[in-house]
A and B are shown apart, each in its own frame.
Chain A
Amino acid sequence: MAPFIHRFAGYSAGWILAIVPASIFVFLLGFVEPISNHGFVQAVIEWVPAYNLNLSFFIDGLSLTFGLLISGIGTIIVIYSGAYLKGHHHQGRFFAFILMFMGSMLGLVLADSLLVMFIFWELTSITSFLLIGFDHTRQASRRAAIQALVITNAGGLALLVGAILLQKVTGVWEMSMMRGYGPALQEAGFYPAILALFCLAAFTKSAQFPFHFWLPNAMEAPTPVSAFLHSATMVKAGVYLLARMNPTLGGTYEWTVVLVLFGGVTLLYGATLALRQTDMKQMLAQTTVASLGLLVLLIGIGTETAIAAMVVYLIAHALYKAALFLIAGIIDHGTGTREITELGGLRGLMPVTFFVAILAAVSMAGLPPAIGFLAKEEMYLALMNPNAWSIAVLVVLIVGNALMLVVGAAIAIKPFFGGLKPTPLKPHEGSLALLIGPVMFGLLALAAGLLPDVLGHYFLVPTASTIYNIEVESHLKMGLEIFLNPMILLSVATWVLGALMFWRLDDIRKILRRIESAVRWNFDAGFDSVMFGLIRFADAVTRIWHHGRLELYLIVVFAALALALFVPMLVLNGVPSVPQFPQLTFYEWGVGLIAMSGLVAVLIARTRLIAIVSLGIQGFAVALIFMLFGAPDLSFTQFMVETLSVVILTLVMTRLHLEQRDSRVLEEVLRDGSLAIICGAGVMLLLMSVLQHDLDLRLTDFFAQTSVAIAHGHNIVNVILVDYRGLDTLGEIAVVMTTGIAILALIRIRAGGPKRRVTTARKRAGAAQKTSRTTKKEARA
């Protein structure tokens, strides 16, 4: 739909299309009140009832918060990209992709059934692949898209396996019902495997160390996508999964260790790398990695306060990260560069952007009165335990938060203060469509910080209760007393540390860059080597198996067939006894003779053309046998198929320019001939052993009795095809059509322009043989 609307409405399509996510947002907003009063909404559509599989969706605190973030930020993103990508020739396509992405993300958080969630999970991978690679003429874009797809999809497969294992243990697919299985599940033997698989899925999706490198590369996507990807959606899916699984899998020693360890490393690593960057988007991307690490760490700690902190930080991060990304986009749009070292003095020229940047950065830095401050206080409160373990994590948190403050300050201050620097474009303020989003996010971050009761009652409590699985109480407050508790000292320590680092930012960056060039190897390069290794490996395998000699392929296929026929028969002692030959009537003898003469004719045929026609004789004889023994339908089909395959084979033959005669030498004739005889004998023995048992007539009786009564048809074969097994037939005709298209493609490749004809004659011969075989196979099907 989106490209069509775009065609008519032009770039203002952004405003029109934003109605879709906006209405979803308003719809979800209606659930806020009931959900905060312990409500729970569920919708179930039967999918495969036989396997107890349902398309089930539900809304609880967690999915509602996520749903609101996705649709709310999504609305802004759509409006923003209307202006940001104004005049881009694929803007319509972009809208379609981003709405698809939004839809799959919403499905992901609203799904109750794990399998449904898996499907949406993979859909987000695919749509983000399309979005990251949106600028597909650039090689860097394509590489980033493939990298994101490979990594997140690997995680997706882990999720599928994990989900199946989990279902085996609990017996249900619905996550809302799995909660009760927590302790029992953790006793079960599968627990470590399930935990590892789910962690792999979540870590790849949420860019945890050591899978973090795809996320900064995904910056190749247009800025609105980055904003969306980072603030509300895909990368948070892993965090969502962990939060959702906390009641089921969480609370154990392994859970805490794995999550805290990986989260902590990701936090520090991401934040440190952010300092190294000078591209605004890259800086923000690295801090997203850090923030995701922080979220995972908080889930890992898993106490009531930690979960509350995680929820507040989740909302805070979504708001300021979206705002900052959009600001980076506006600056890029307005000045033509995102390099923070090349920008300065924009304060007067872009006043609104400047104002919002300050708002968002205050939240990011965790300064009062923004929501980021609440999140930080809550985090420190969660670790107020006098043991070594807590103190270690606390130190990690303080350093991480200080690093984030540095980046926030750098983005809010560097481009706007100081002397005006020359930029590629003359700096100008963004338009309404560009500014409306960041302004709203910035104000919301402020409002949420100033109204902690609303935030606590409507969002924190329902969400945290879902994750923690026990009712959580909100103790968020904002007022003078907050400055009188010990956490404020930790906050002050964070700010001081951050301010110090900001002061020496350029030096730190130099040192970090020197380390980077000294080490040389990084995970990104590692990914490349793995991918190249894979390609080389595939190449080697292909050289062995796809040697390109058709007759060898055929020999392998038929030798395998012979083995498959004879080995079970000999091992299981199932060689049939020789049956009684029935008395044949003269016409039955006649048909047999025709078939035999057809075969003899094939063998003595002088040219290939005659051999093909003779093969047809034998086929007609088989059709006659079908007719004599009461299968008119089958014989009818056989007649037609034989005719057509002779016609098509002849057509192929006439253009192949093969030698007229079979040019095989004697050994080859013997080899192929004996293989053919062995296979034939095998099939014959198999059929004979089948015939030695009495036929099971239950199905025959069933069809004979019901075909007229239920399906109103006397022709049982047809009734089975179009009625009883309609779905099979539907699949088959789809296959027939697809095969047809594939054959056409092969023929067209060979046709490939009159000039190349002569040179490609040899290749064409090979492809034509393949074609003819496919055609025959398909016709027989």
Chain B
Amino acid sequence: MNTVIFRTIAPVLTAIMLVFSVFVLLRGHNEPGGGFIGGLIAASAVAIYGIAAGVTEVRAALKVDPVSIAGFGVFIAGCAGLVSLGYQVPFLTGIWTFFEIVDTEVAISTPMVFDIGVYFVVLGTISAVALALEEDEGEH
């Protein structure tokens, strides 16, 4: 699996996949996509990079432990739900604000933050597992 072509192309591929995953994540509310799929794509990107460049390098590039990423995801998803309490509505009710940047309407909402949380959970968990598996293989 560890061919020269693969090793050369993998960083580029990973970068493209990561950008794509964010794109999929953010458009999720209106088009096919969302946090779960985005997270899966990002996790695949991490896995591919891991196969190509080795786990040590991925861990160095990630800077934080993947499990922490997942924990962070659950945390911000929970926080997104708590925002609604400030508006005297039940937990997890969506709160929306709209504003315009250069003629384009941009929507910021708690469901979006929630979806980002889902993204991080999926990304963190799957890549943690994939990296752990790759790591063990690499040591043989």
Find out whether the CB atom of B74 lies under 8 angstroms from the CB atom of A734: yes
Among candidates B34, B41, B91, B109, residue contacting A715 with C-beta atoms closer than 8 Å: B34
Find out whether the CB atom of A641 lies under 8 angstroms from the CB atom of B133: no
Nearest-neighbour CB distance to chain B for A285, whole angstroms, equals 43
Question: Looking at the complex, which of A13-21, A558-566, A658-666, A720-728 is the stretch in contact with chain B?
Answer: A720-728
CA distance A779 to B81 in the complex (A): 24
A751 CB within 8 Å of chain B? yes
Among candidates A644, A733, A739, A775, residue contacting B77 with C-beta atoms closer than 8 Å: A733
CA distance A253 to B16 in the complex (A): 80
Find out whether the CB atom of A712 lies under 8 angstroms from the CB atom of B29: yes
Q: Which of B111-140 contact A (CB under 8 A)?
A: 111-112, 114-115, 117-118, 121-122, 124-126, 128-130, 132-134, 136-137, 139-140
Nearest-neighbour CB distance to chain A for B16, whole angstroms, equals 15
CA distance A641 to B36 in the complex (A): 10
Find out whether the CB atom of B30 lies under 8 angstroms from the CB atom of A733: no
Find out whether the CB atom of A730 lies under 8 angstroms from the CB atom of B70: no
Among candidates A644, A729, A754, residue contacting B40 with C-beta atoms closer than 8 Å: A644
Find out whether the CB atom of A718 lies under 8 angstroms from the CB atom of B129: no
Find out whether the CB atom of A714 lies under 8 angstroms from the CB atom of B132: no
Find out whether the CB atom of A740 lies under 8 angstroms from the CB atom of B114: no
Question: Looking at the complex, which of A347-355, A539-547, A646-654 is the stretch in contact with chain B?
Answer: A646-654
Find out whether the CB atom of A739 lies under 8 angstroms from the CB atom of B125: yes
Find out whether the CB atom of A740 lies under 8 angstroms from the CB atom of B67: yes
Q: Which of A698-748 contact B (CB under 8 A)?
A: 710-715, 717-719, 721-723, 726-727, 729-730, 733-734, 736-737, 739-741, 743-744, 747-748
Among candidates A717, A723, A733, residue contacting B118 with C-beta atoms closer than 8 Å: A733
Find out whether the CB atom of B92 lies under 8 angstroms from the CB atom of A718: no
B87 CB within 8 Å of chain A? no
Complex interface: chain B residues within 8 A of A723 (CB): 94, 111
Question: Looking at the complex, which of A380-388, A476-484, A630-638 is the stretch in contact with chain B?
Answer: A630-638
A138 CB within 8 Å of chain B? no
A643 CB within 8 Å of chain B? yes
Complex interface: chain B residues within 8 A of A779 (CB): 40, 126
Q: Which of B26-43 contact A (CB under 8 A)?
A: 28-37, 40-41, 43
Complex interface: chain B residues within 8 A of A647 (CB): 44, 47, 130
Find out whether the CB atom of B137 lies under 8 angstroms from the CB atom of A632: no
A763 CB within 8 Å of chain B? no
Find out whether the CB atom of B126 lies under 8 angstroms from the CB atom of A644: yes
Find out whether the CB atom of A722 lies under 8 angstroms from the CB atom of B32: no
A651-B133 contact given A711-B111, A730-B77, A733-B118, CB 8 Å threshold: yes
Range of interface residues on chain B? 35 or more
* Cβ-closest chain B residue relative to A751: B136
Find out whether the CB atom of B121 lies under 8 angstroms from the CB atom of A743: no
Among candidates B33, B81, B125, residue contacting A736 with C-beta atoms closer than 8 Å: B125
* Cβ-closest chain A residue relative to B47: A647
B5 CB within 8 Å of chain A? no
Find out whether the CB atom of B137 lies under 8 angstroms from the CB atom of A744: no
Complex interface: chain B residues within 8 A of A636 (CB): 32-33, 37
A640-B118 contact given A715-B32, A718-B28, CB 8 Å threshold: no
B78 CB within 8 Å of chain A? yes
A755 CB within 8 Å of chain B? no
A520 CB within 8 Å of chain B? no
Nearest-neighbour CB distance to chain B for A55, whole angstroms, equals 15
B96 CB within 8 Å of chain A? yes
Find out whether the CB atom of A651 lies under 8 angstroms from the CB atom of B71: no
Complex interface: chain B residues within 8 A of A714 (CB): 29-31
Nearest-neighbour CB distance to chain B for A274, whole angstroms, equals 51
Given contacts A715-B30, A723-B111, A733-B117, 14 further A-B contacts (CB under 8 A): A633-B33, A643-B44, A644-B47, A647-B44, A647-B47, A647-B130, A651-B133, A651-B134, A726-B111, A737-B67, A737-B121, A740-B70, A740-B125, A740-B129
Q: Which residues of A contact B (CB under 8 A)?
A: 632-633, 636-637, 640-641, 643-644, 647-648, 651-652, 654-655, 710-715, 717-719, 721-723, 726-727, 729-730, 733-734, 736-737, 739-741, 743-744, 747-748, 750-751, 754, 771, 775, 778-779
The 4 closest A-B pairs by CB, nearest first: A740-B125, A640-B40, A713-B29, A726-B92
Q: List 23 A-B contacts (CB under 8 A).
A: A633-B34, A633-B37, A640-B37, A640-B40, A643-B44, A644-B47, A711-B29, A713-B111, A714-B31, A715-B30, A715-B33, A719-B29, A721-B115, A722-B94, A722-B114, A722-B118, A723-B94, A726-B81, A726-B111, A736-B70, A736-B122, A740-B124, A744-B128
